[in-house]
Every structure is written in structure tokens, then in C-alpha cells.
Amino acid sequence: MICRLFHFATAAMLIVVVLSAAVPSSVLADENLTSNTTVWNTVLDSYTFCFPLVLMDATMKKSTNTVQATSIQAPVNQLMHSQKLATPNETSVVTPNVDTLYSEAFLNLSGPAYVFVKPPSDRFCSAQIMDAYTNTVAVIGSGGQGDPSDEQVCLLTGKDYHGITPEGMIHIQVPTDIGWILVRTLENGSSDQPNVSAIQKGMQLVPVTAYLSSEPYSPPNGSYNPAYDFIPVNHVLNMTPTEFFATANSLMLTNPPTAADGPIVEEMSSIQVGPGLAFDETVLGDNASAEWMQMMSELKPTLSNASAVYSVSLGGWDYSGDPIGDFGTAYGYRAAVALNALGANPTYVAIYPKTGKDSQGQPLSGVSQYRLHFDQGMLPPVQTGSAKPRVW
């Protein structure tokens, strides 16, 4: 019996050898090329899906890298309040408003629930709450739930919360452990800054037990790590494949994809990317470094092309339309917005019109002068001089 098995195995091996020898080398090369292309298509899809998550994590590390809260950083689950309008030197927010003072907090919602209070305001004041993938879970205040002139008290919980919602609170359940509150408050010139500061001082972010007890709450100190002194987007774009996908795999354990993400999760698993998987760079082949560099060099135009379908024309301008801010399975669009405008609002709160051409279709140039024209009766509402700021 052993001899027969041996003879059978030998014959089978000979058949395989003969068949392989009969296949032209050009056909084998084409098969290898097709396999390599499939792998790198999956790498690009996986990178696109994971990019917002990894960038959010890096932004959180940078923004919370401090012992105590300052105007630009604060420990996890603590608010920071900017005191000056953004300049071109701003790096934590990719495209900041220049007439807005930001208040923000990065959240770890794996533990106790938190209460966020947005105080009454006489102006545009919008609190956007996002998950780890930059999807907007809720907007409180201007453009969202509630009148900005009213106080809103929100119970912020993570994906595993099953407790009660105290009376009078708005329950906002974030589907990931990582969350981000980004509050935008309009400032009408530097003389208006004290008024904005008064609104900021009325904001609260405390554990629900501390809020309900009405006792003074002192937040714990954070920590400082010099390794997190980086510009988040540059840090992520410079990651190696192993650094990037190992980070993503770890983050997806506590910030899981949704049920709608099932097809992409299955695709990513073929290269060992997914919640808790162990990524091995050898799956990328012998020429991984060069292929990765090529993919990264083409990333911005690739994502731009993927998101172009969502562009909406408005006169001579274009803006990013739905589903911006709540992307669903539009992964290329989500990654493009994270790369170019992390934390962008949904369209029911704000739009971001832009143009690169004049009315003749010619590219804008710094050597030319341009006139911005509004038809009669179409001027946007503004206040001039020392008049009281308009109530939003």
C-alpha cells in the first residue's frame, strides 16, 4: 500500500511538472501580474477605509498630549478652548475657519458616560460630535438639534452603554470608543472675543456622576509623550505599511466597522487587515516598498477622483455635497475629506464653497484682479461697524 501511494504521488507530481512546462512563460507572467494588481487594489481599498480612523487616532494623541488643559491641548475627556482666531500656522485642524473660535475635546467613551453642556448663545454656536471614523453622530446648537439660544445638556456614551438617560438630557451614543466634540463659536472681530470666552466658560464636560452630584469636579491630569509632538496628517502619511495597518487593526478592536462595512471588511481580511488581525508585510510581495511609495504618491489625486462625484455646483463655485460628514460606505470620499478637511460639517450645518477658475473658465492667478458679484437682493446678511452681532 505504501508503494502504491508513493507511485501515485510521483505520477501526480510528474503530471504537474509536465503541465507547468506546457504553459508559456508569458501566461504565467500575466497571472502573476494579475495577482499582484489584485493585492494592491486591496491595499488601496484597505488604506482608504482605514485612513480616517488612523488619522483620528493620531490627532487625538497630538491634541491630548499634555498634563493640563491649555488653549490648544487638553487631556482626554477634557475641553480645550482656543482664544485666538486661526492663522495659516494652524496644523491640528486641516482647514480651520478664520472667524470661529474652536472648543474641542477628544473622548474615550469605553468607561463612564459623560455630560456635555452647550450653554445658551446669541450667535452661531455649533457642537459637532463625531465617531472614530469622522462620521457625524449629532450636531447640537446651530444647524442641528436645539436652538443655540437655549442650553443643551447631552449624555455622551460609548457603544456598550445600556444605562438610563437622566431626565432633560439628550442621549448621544457614539458607536466607537473614540469620539470627538468640535464646537465652533462665531467671533465678530477681536473686540468680540470676551463674549465668546464667556460662552466657552459656560461649556461643561464632566462624568455623569459628577454632574448629577452637583459637587465641584476636578479633572485628572493627563500625560506628555514627546513622541506625539507631530503634525498628525504628516505622521500618518509617513507610516510604513506595517505601522499603518497594525495601528488600524488595533484600533478596529474597540472602534469596530459597522454592519454595512461587511464587504470591505471581508476584502481587507485577504491581506490580514481587520479588527485584531496580525498584519504581515510579506503579503505585499517582494517589491512592497516601491509599490507603497507609488501608491502614496498618487493618493491625493486618487481620492480626489473618488470624491469628485459628490461635488455640487453653485453658480461659479463648487462645494462638497452629501454624504459629507456622515459618509456611510463612501470610503474614498470619507478619506478625501479627512485628508483635506478633517472634521467637516454635514451640509445641513455648513457648506464649503470653493473655486479655482474665473467666470471665463480661466485658472485664478495672483497677478489678476477679480470682482465678486452678487445680484441685487442677494447679498448675504452681515453686520457692520459696532452694531450688536447678528443673532443666529
Question: Which tens digit of pLDDT belongs to each residue from 188-221?
Answer: 888 999 999 999 999 999 999 999 998 899 999 9
What grid cell was written down for 233? 496628517
Rounded to whole angstroms, the Cα distance separating 55 from 323 reads 20
Residue with the larger pLDDT of the pair 97 and 218:
218
Rounded to whole angstroms, the Cα distance separating 186 from 82 reads 12
Question: Which tens digit of pLDDT belongs to each residue from 122-139?
Answer: 999 999 999 999 999 999
Q: Does residue 115 sit in helix, strand or coil? A: strand
Q: Which of 296, 193, 223, 251 is nearest to 52 (CA)?
A: 251
Rounded to whole angstroms, the Cα distance separating 220 from 270 reads 42
Q: Does residue 3 sit in helix, strand or coil? A: helix
What grid cell was written down for 246? 497594525
Mean pLDDT to the nearest integer, 148-174: 94
**Helix axes of 299-307 and 331-341: crossing angle, nearest 10 degrees:** 120
Question: Which tens digit of pLDDT belongs to each residue from 332-373?
Answer: 999 999 999 999 999 999 998 888 888 888 889 889 888 888
Question: Which tens digit of pLDDT belongs to each residue from 30-87?
Answer: 545 466 889 999 999 999 999 999 999 999 999 999 999 999 999 999 999 999 887 7
Task: Give me the CATH topology for the region 67-224.
Answer: Immunoglobulin-like (2.60.40)
Rounded to whole angstroms, the Cα distance separating 216 from 155 reads 18
> β-strand 80-81 against 100-108: which pairing, if any?
antiparallel
Q: Is the pLDDT of residue 154 over 60?
A: yes
Mind giving me the DSSP string for 41-79?
HHHHHHHHHHHHHHHHHHHHHHHT-SSS--SS---TT--
Question: Which tens digit of pLDDT belongs to each residue from 210-266?
Answer: 999 988 999 999 999 999 999 999 999 999 999 999 999 999 999 999 999 999 999
Q: Where are the domains of the chain?
A: 67-224, 232-341
Q: Whole-number mean pLDDT of the chain? A: 87
Between the alpha carbon of residue 249 and those of residues 160, 244, 246, 272, 372, the distances in Å are 20, 9, 5, 9, 48
- Which pLDDT score, from 0 to 100, does residue 35 have? 66
Question: Which tens digit of pLDDT belongs to each residue from 328-340?
Answer: 999 999 999 999 9
- Which pLDDT score, from 0 to 100, does residue 238 have? 98
Rounded to whole angstroms, the Cα distance separating 57 from 253 reads 13
Instruction: Find residue 253's DSSP bridge partners.
Output: none
Q: Which of 187, 218, 188, 233 is nearest to 61 (CA)?
A: 233
- Which pLDDT score, from 0 to 100, does residue 323 have? 97
